[in-house]
Structure 1
Amino acid sequence: MMKSWVLVVLPLAILPPAAPAQLSTQGTALDHFAGDWVMTGTIDGEEVVHDVDADWVLAGHYLRFHDFSREREESGERAYEATVFIGWDAQTERFVCLWLDVTGGEGLANGVLGYATPVGDTIPFVFDVGEYSIDNTFVYHRGADTWEWTIVNARGDARSEFAHVTLERRFSSVPGDWSPGQREIFDAIARLSAATAPGGGGADEYAAMLTEDFSRWTIGSDVLNGKADWVEGIRTWFDDGWRVSDRQAEVLEITIEGGTAYSRRIVSESYTGPDGEPSPPARAALAEVWRRDGEGWRLQRVTVHPIE
């Protein structure tokens, strides 16, 4: 009798546990990470531009993203590249991150994983590497549909910021029969927009996207803004606590003639001030002229037609 009972229950004992639900169905902030992004900001004191492509893999149990710099070494290799996996530990209710990059080949051998207990739309990963930790905090800004990453090296009570970057969606994910050259203009627009979004680099980052002879004119005004006075206005606005909290854009046309490009688009923006209250959306039609130099496309002229 005992033998029969053992034979019946033993197969049940070796069945694998039920698989947890896919992370992609859990309704976390990571739902807004899948897609193509342009990363701008500072890493180790240097201004950077990276591309980040993220997607759900392995039946939706993991989010994988590929982070690669546009800057290249003399050898032609990218200055930085990483492949990152994020999963979910159901027992401890926290995210787990495996970060593999070109800085070394020990990513699978050293046992270092990042762990983060989410707090709303903030995912504060901590990578414990022994004598110090690397704190990599992801923050999703829903209104602007952007991500902000801050990396801090922590050793005891001493903390040193290593990186602060913003990720804005790359326009190549927008449907349409756009050429590779036209998509470069989309990327330039995205970098310009990221400067004034939450977590953006502000006036200096904005200025880096303008040519030295930049000018801006609003139809109906008798004022032409040059680069210096326009950037100074952005700086004051940004330092006072204002941000573009929501931005919608419809690109109507991009024409490229050699090193000059012309774009026409309609933009709707809402702003959040120091009090945290969003403003009503403002709409305008923009006609822009872009110039290409050794570092990419920069905005040279913009004519603004406010739309009531």
Structure 2
Amino acid sequence: MKLPQFATIVFLLSFSFHSVGQATIKCNENKFEDPFLENIIGSWDATGKIGTDPVAYHFTGNWELNHQFILLSFADTARQPQYIARVYIGVDCVSERYVVHWLDNFGGRFSETLGYGTRSGDSIPFRFEYPDGPFINTFTYDNSLDSWQFHSETKNSKGIWEPFGDIYLKRVK
């Protein structure tokens, strides 16, 4: 076999193996349906750490805005919550990726940046390009336990990725 033919075959094989791990989004512009993200609908207890600080949240997931977005609502469990967030996850059918609007009580400056993600297996890494550096929040679903993990990391000023936090969601029965 000639080298150019061999190189072409290797390229095509590598592309096909890469695409097997990628889940495509089936788009319906009238109604966002996603069996994978459907698993986050409901009420959850969320616990974990942000940095070294332990955190606990009341957490819900619901379809909103004519079934175009999943709304994740959460607040810490303090009597007067210190952190409250509304996270809208939708799909961009043209770009074939998820889009995230993360709104929280830190205000408008931090909500300017949209997050984008593409599902890979049981995870969706959502990447945000914030003014002070990139941030990735990966949502991973464990079907056997019906639980989620949100693992976040940020790139520091030296360009090194470092952990930011881990939140674990357990369904409220």
TM-score (norm 2): 0.78
Of 57, 81, 84, which aligns to 2:87?
A: 84
Deviation per CA, 1:27-77, whole angstroms, max 9, x where unpaired?
Answer: 3x21101100000111121111111111001121100011100024xxxx3
Within 2, Cα distance between the matches of 1:132 and 1:107? Answer: 12
Is the Cα contact below 8 Å between 2:48 and 2:167 reproduced in 1? yes
Alignment pair present for 1:69 and 2:71: no
Within 2, Cα distance between the matches of 1:107 and 1:46? Answer: 21
Of 106, 111, 116, which aligns to 2:109?
A: 106
Alignment pair present for 1:48 and 2:55: yes
Within 1, Cα distance between the matches of 2:30 and 2:39? Answer: 18
5 Å matches for 1:288-299? none
**Which residue does 1:36 correspond to in 2?**
43
Alignment pair present for 1:138 and 2:112: no
Within 2, Cα distance between the matches of 1:130 and 1:47? Answer: 26
**Which residue does 1:160 correspond to in 2?**
162
Deviation per CA, 1:171-208, whole angstroms, max 9, x where unpaired?
Answer: 2xxxxxxxxxxxxxxxxxxxxxxxxxxxxxxxxxxxxx
Question: Per the alignment, in what secondary structure is the counterpart of residue 32 of structure 1?
Answer: helix
Give the letter aligned to residue 148 of structure 1: Q
**Which residue does 1:299 correspond to in 2?**
none
Which deviates further from its counterpart, 41-50 or 148-157?
148-157
Is the Cα contact below 8 Å between 2:110 and 2:130 reproduced in 1? no
Deviation for aligned residue 1:91 = 1.1
Question: Per the alignment, in what secondary structure is the counterpart of residue 92 of structure 1?
Answer: coil
Alignment pair present for 1:93 and 2:96: yes
Within 2, Cα distance between the matches of 1:130 and 1:102? Answer: 18
Within 2, Cα distance between the matches of 1:157 and 1:141? Answer: 31
**Which residue does 2:31 correspond to in 1?**
22
Deviation per CA, 1:205-254, whole angstroms, max 9, x where unpaired?
Answer: xxxxxxxxxxxxxxxxxxxxxxxxxxxxxxxxxxxxxxxxxxxxxxxxxx
Give the letter aligned to residue 63 of structure 1: I
Question: Per the alignment, in what secondary structure is the counterpart of residue 164 of structure 1?
Answer: strand
Question: Per the alignment, in what secondary structure is the counterpart of residue 108 of structure 2?
Answer: coil
Within 2, Cα distance between the matches of 1:52 and 1:43? Answer: 16
Question: Per the alignment, in what secondary structure is the counterpart of residue 109 of structure 2?
Answer: coil
TM-score (norm 1): 0.45
Question: Per the alignment, in what secondary structure is the counterpart of residue 154 of structure 2?
Answer: strand
Within 2, Cα distance between the matches of 1:139 and 1:157? Answer: 25
**Which residue does 1:215 correspond to in 2?**
none
Give the letter aligned to residue 29 of structure 2: P
Which consecutive residues of structure 2, in runs of 5 or more, have no partner in the other structure?
1-27
Give the letter aligned to residue 168 of structure 1: K
Give the letter aligned to residue 147 of structure 1: W
Task: Figure out how many residues of one structure are paired with residues of the other and give that number.
Answer: 145
**Which residue does 1:199 correspond to in 2?**
none
**Which residue does 1:58 correspond to in 2?**
65
Deviation for aligned residue 1:121 = 1.7
Q: Identity across aligned pairs (percent)?
A: 30
Question: Per the alignment, in what secondary structure is the counterpart of residue 106 of structure 1?
Answer: helix
Give the letter aligned to residue 144 of structure 2: G
Within 2, Cα distance between the matches of 1:26 and 1:101? Answer: 25
5 Å matches for 1:241-256? none
Which consecutive residues of structure 1, in runs of 5 or more, have no partner in the other structure?
1-18, 172-308
Within 2, Cα distance between the matches of 1:50 and 1:60? Answer: 25
